[in-house]
Amino acid sequence: MSPRNGRPNVPVTIDGQDVKAFEGESILELARRVGVPIPTLCHLEGLSIHGGCRLCLVDTGDHKLKPACATEVTAELDVTTTNAEIREHRRRIVELLFAEGNHICAFCVSSGSCELQDLATEHHVDHIHYELGYERHDVDASHPKYVLDRDRCVLCTRCVRVCDEVEGAHVWDVAMRGNEARIVAGMDIPWGESSACTWCGKCVVVCPTGALSFKGRATGEMRHDPELVAFLARARDEGEWIDRRAEA
Amino acid sequence: MAATIDLDDVANVELEARSRFTHRALVCTSTGCLSAGAANVRATLEADLTEAEADHDVQVVPTGCPGLCSRGPLVTVESRGEESTLYQYVDEDAAHTIVREHLVGGAPVEGGDIVPPDIPFYAKQHQVVLAYAGRIDPDRLEDYVAEGGYRALSKALTSMTPEQVIEAIDASGLRGRGGAGYPTARKWELLHDAPGEHKYVVANGDEGDPGAYMDRTIMDSDPHRVLEGMALAAYATGADKGYIYVRAEYPLAIERLERAIRAAKRAKLLGRSVLGTGFAFDIEVRVGAGAFVCGEETALMASIEGRRGTPSLRPPYPTERGLWGAPTMINNVETLANVPAIVGKGPEAFAAVGTETSKGTKVFALAGSVTNTGLIEVPMGIPLREIVFDMAGGIPNGKAFKAAQTGGPSGGCIPAAYLDTPVDYEHLRALGSMMGSGGLVVMDETVKMPEVARFYMEFCRDESCGKCTPCRAGTVKMYAFLDRICRGVGRKRDLQHLESLCRTVRETSLCGLGQSAPNPVFSTLEHFREEYLELLVEDEEFLPAGAAPTAPGAPTDEAGAR
Ligand SMILES: Cc1cc2nc3c(=O)[nH]c(=O)nc-3n(C[C@H](O)[C@H](O)[C@H](O)COP(=O)(O)O)c2cc1C
Ligand code: FES
């Protein structure tokens, strides 16, 4: 959330509540500011907008649902952030994410620090109606400090964006397409061989699942710290670097 | 500065040169006929004519596609002052005979394999964008100019303001031929009004629908028409640079477009001062690597910029922020190919054809169980029945018609009960299908509709870019359900899950690929549900009904463990 000048003056209704939004504010930013919860996964404060996970879809009265993370408010907008239909869609999307990868929490290094797990709890995903796609991808454990388990990846591209936009190294990219799409280092080389990687670990701390983790952590021991990016973005904007202790 | 060309002079020289020949043999060298052996036919004709010392009287012209692809190689013989003759299935022997009896002998081949001039395949067509296809050498600028080409551009540059060009497009009622049918003039206005030093127009020739080749044929049979349409669009909107995005699978179209661009630049029909006026416009071909999703406009722009071809969120729309941040307009190739006729002959002539809301013509690629496959251009609003039974010649082998599929993987199936539906944007949409880019696949009674749905879903699954969850994972799971059903092991519950998943993928996907991927399923379910039901097996029972525990607050419509 970049700092806003002046006072919010765009009248918007959100779930029946009349509020004032800043000019150019996204529905998601507004909702968070006024305390209306909207689930997200690919979105991360401090990074560019991706719009791929589709969990933040809300109803603005348009013929299509709109991603709250990427839709700017307009005057007199009337937003419904949740209804039975939207809940169903969100639950199915979470289910699809579970079905396409290896998201067996009991074995996962990130259990307890996983946004996908939280989403599943929130949306009552207690079983999967779809055929499980696991296993599709390789694990890349070539890096001395970190591990990438691609079957736990939800392709939110936070790692791709943080590496490019904040660290400036651009180690990561998405290769292949559809069901085969996967995160690759460099031109699809083992991560450990990437000369661009600075070992900063930002990709690891922003990962919402157990796809990226610190080497040597056992089941349930990984702790992510996605808020780091918002801290960095703000610090950079305001030129103020106060001490910040990460949870991890 | 070199003088600009005089279009009328070029045309006159060309027509006079032609008049010296007693006969002209037009050999289709488009993709279909080439693969059927047209290159050999052309070589045979030329060799025989040289041998008979008739090559000064007879001209052999390699042309684009006359449309009747299933009967190729096709050779049209034009004789001075007479009706032309269209020979079908021409092989080397037939080529020898045509030279001997017709081109040298002077009379159509007795008992030759000739297409009757009045067959409905041609008689019911109304050709605007295909008017010169199969009649001119696509590699010669002079051929296009001799037919009247580039006159619309010259007229616009010398006697119309950009706004008047947009008004003409508006008055014609032209709508986008790339699928959605958005009014073309409105898009042009958006680009016209967009502020910016540089603006781009892009011709979308990605054409990824399975079975479709309308745009390929327009590009490889009449490339200058596309260039002229783009130049007019650029003049009207203030763009200074154009890209034609063509998939790599169309090497012939790419080659001919590039040759056409070079010729047009030499003739100052493109470049820094078009036809000696202050209008500057340049065109470049960009070759796609063959992904269906790169036909989607935001993915297409990413691909042109050299990035990964995935769609991005709109807004911003391309006319607000497009290629390299500059205002950009994407039009389909066929849309642009209509423009020279509209500006040249006036919007009234164009709007006189078609229906109230869908003006002009549409090119369709006929495929599937029909006697004549190939390319036709028909007036909007023509009943589907006339296309299938008259023009395409009906279903071969005495089989019954079952459905026609339009709109490719984004479209749907139209069953026999709706054969009299007028083919236009609104009617097709009302039937749960869509115009799409113009693929028309006819299916006979032996085709199983769930398998059709599975085929298109497989296509969407393989072409999904993977950016958004519902399309990436949803197409995989929808395909899995369809596959189980088709294999006869699908349960009733699978069909329910399939339908609910289809709804979610339609409502939540990021781009048109995912949003429309469920359409073939919805459409076949709507019209042929019983075919699905016949394939299903009963659900197994895990627990006595009503004994399954329900989590507090959990949605229940899909409850039931598996
Ligand atoms: C998945 C997908 C594929 C598409 N493929 C094509 C295509 O091959 N050719 C095309 O002209 N338009 C295609 N479109 C539509 C384009 O995004 C765009 O709307 C069109 O080129 C606009 O041109 P028009 O206004 O002249 O129709 C596609 C859209 C989607 C969502
Ligand atoms: S959070 Fe908006 S699409 Fe992922």
pLDDT digit string (tens) for B484-494? 999 999 999 99
Q: What confidence category does residue B358 fall into, taking pLDDT thresholds of 50, 70 and 90?
A: very high
Q: What is the pLDDT of residue B548?
A: 60
| Shared-domain flag, residues B152 and B101 | no
Is B37 a residue whose pLDDT tops 70? yes
Residues of A in contact with B509 (CB under 8 A): 54
**Residue whose C-alpha is closest to residue B334's, from B369, B301, B299, B375:** B375
Is the Cβ of B446 closer than 8 Å to some Cβ of chain A? no
| Shared-domain flag, residues B421 and B453 | no
Q: What is the mean pLDDT of residues B69-76?
A: 94
Q: What is the mean pLDDT of residues B14-37?
A: 94
- CA A214, CA A200: separation in Å to the nearest integer? 12
Q: What is the mean pLDDT of residues A20-33?
A: 97
| Shared-domain flag, residues B298 and B194 | yes
Is B1 a residue whose pLDDT tops 50? no
pLDDT per position as a tens digit, B242-289: 999 999 999 999 999 999 999 999 999 999 999 999 999 999 999 998
| Shared-domain flag, residues B105 and B158 | no
10 Å CB burial of residue B398 (0-12, 13-18, 19+) is: exposed
B536 with B491: CB under 8 angstroms?
Answer: yes
| Shared-domain flag, residues B526 and B552 | yes
Of the three residues B392, B418, B444, the one that is the final residue of a domain is B444
C-alpha pair distances (Å), A209 with each of A45, A114, A245, B108: 17, 5, 21, 75
Burial pattern A20-42, b for ≥16 Cβ within 10 A else e, equals ebbeebbbbbbbbeeebebbbbb
Select from B308, B474, B562 the Cβ nearest to the Cβ of A96. B474
Is the Cβ of A108 closer than 8 Å to some Cβ of chain B? no
Q: What is the pLDDT of residue B180?
A: 84
C-alpha pair distances (Å), B504 with each of A57, A185, B227, B510: 11, 32, 41, 12
| Shared-domain flag, residues B408 and B477 | no
User: Quick one: which atom of ligand 2 is closest to the CA of A39?
Assistant: 1
Domain residue ranges of chain A, discontinuous segments joined by +: 10-82, 102-237
**Residue whose C-alpha is closest to residue B229's, from B189, B272, B281:** B281
Closest C-alpha to ligand 2, atom 3: A51
Is A31 a residue whose pLDDT tops 80? yes
Q: What is the mean pLDDT of residues A83-96?
A: 98
Question: Quick one: what percent of chain A has pLDDT higher than 90?
Answer: 89
Find the domain containing B373 and state its range: 361-444
Is A88 a residue whose pLDDT tops 60? yes
Q: What is the pLDDT of residue B561?
A: 38
**Residue whose C-alpha is closest to residue B469's, from A54, A175, A247, A233:** A54
Give B426-430 contacts, CB < 8 A, sequence gap 24+.
B426/B357, B426/B358
Q: With respect to residue B356, please indicate whether it lies within any of the assigned structural domains.
A: no
Tell me the whole-structure pTM to 2 decimals. 0.94
Q: Determine the residue type at B317.
A: Y
Q: What is the pLDDT of residue B211?
A: 84
Q: What's the start-to-end Cα distance of chain B, in Å?
A: 79
CA dihedral for A206, A212, A216, A217, sign (positive or negative): positive
Instruction: Count the Cβ atoms, other than its own, within 10 Å of residue B315.
Output: 9
pLDDT per position as a tens digit, B123-153: 999 999 999 999 999 999 999 999 999 999 9
DSSP secondary structure of B484-540: HHHTT--BHHHHHHHHHHHHHHHHH-SSHHHHHTTHHHHHHHHHHHHHHHHH-BPPP
Q: What confidence category does residue B231 fall into, taking pLDDT thresholds of 50, 70 and 90?
A: very high
**Residue whose C-alpha is closest to residue B366's, from B390, B392, B386:** B392
- CA B8, CA B142: separation in Å to the nearest integer? 10
pLDDT per position as a tens digit, A214-233: 999 999 999 999 999 999 99
Chain A: residue whose CA lies nearest to B463: A178
Q: What confidence category does residue B3 fall into, taking pLDDT thresholds of 50, 70 and 90?
A: low
- CA B244, CA B300: separation in Å to the nearest integer? 11
Q: What is the pLDDT of residue A246?
A: 60
The hierarchical CATH code for the domain A102-237 is: 3.30.70.20
Q: What is the mean pLDDT of residues B183-188?
A: 98
Is B346 a residue whose pLDDT tops 50? yes
More confident of the two residues B33 and B80: B33
Of the three residues B444, B479, B495, the one that is the final residue of a domain is B444
Is A157 a residue whose pLDDT tops 70? yes
B485 with B535: CB under 8 angstroms?
Answer: yes
B256 with B354: CB under 8 angstroms?
Answer: no
Looking at residue B45, which CATH number applies to its domain?
A: 3.40.30.10
Bridge partners for A234 per DSSP = none
| Shared-domain flag, residues B205 and B106 | no
Residues of B in contact with A87 (CB under 8 A): 555
Chain A: residue whose CA lies nearest to B512: A64
Structural domains counted in chain B? 4
| Shared-domain flag, residues B252 and B182 | yes
Q: What confidence category does residue A1 fall into, taking pLDDT thresholds of 50, 70 and 90?
A: very low
- CA B450, CA B521: separation in Å to the nearest integer? 8
Is the Cβ of A92 closer than 8 Å to some Cβ of chain B? yes
Is B542 a residue whose pLDDT tops 90? no
Q: What is the pLDDT of residue A239?
A: 85
Q: What is the mean pLDDT of residues A130-138?
A: 91
**Residue whose C-alpha is closest to residue B501's, from B484, B479, B528:** B479
Q: With respect to residue B180, please indicate whether it lies within any of the assigned structural domains.
A: yes
Q: Answer yes or no: do A178 and B461 touch at CB < 8 A.
A: yes
Of the three residues B289, B319, B351, the one that is the final residue of a domain is B351
Q: What is the pLDDT of residue A134?
A: 86
Q: What are the tokens at B65?
A: 């596609």
CATH of A10-82, one of 2.60.120.380, 3.40.718.10, 3.30.70.20, 3.10.20.740: 3.10.20.740
- Does the C-beta of B296 come closer than 6 Å to ligand 1? yes
Mean pLDDT for chain A overall: 94
| Shared-domain flag, residues B394 and B535 | no
Q: With respect to residue B80, please indicate whether it lies within any of the assigned structural domains.
A: yes
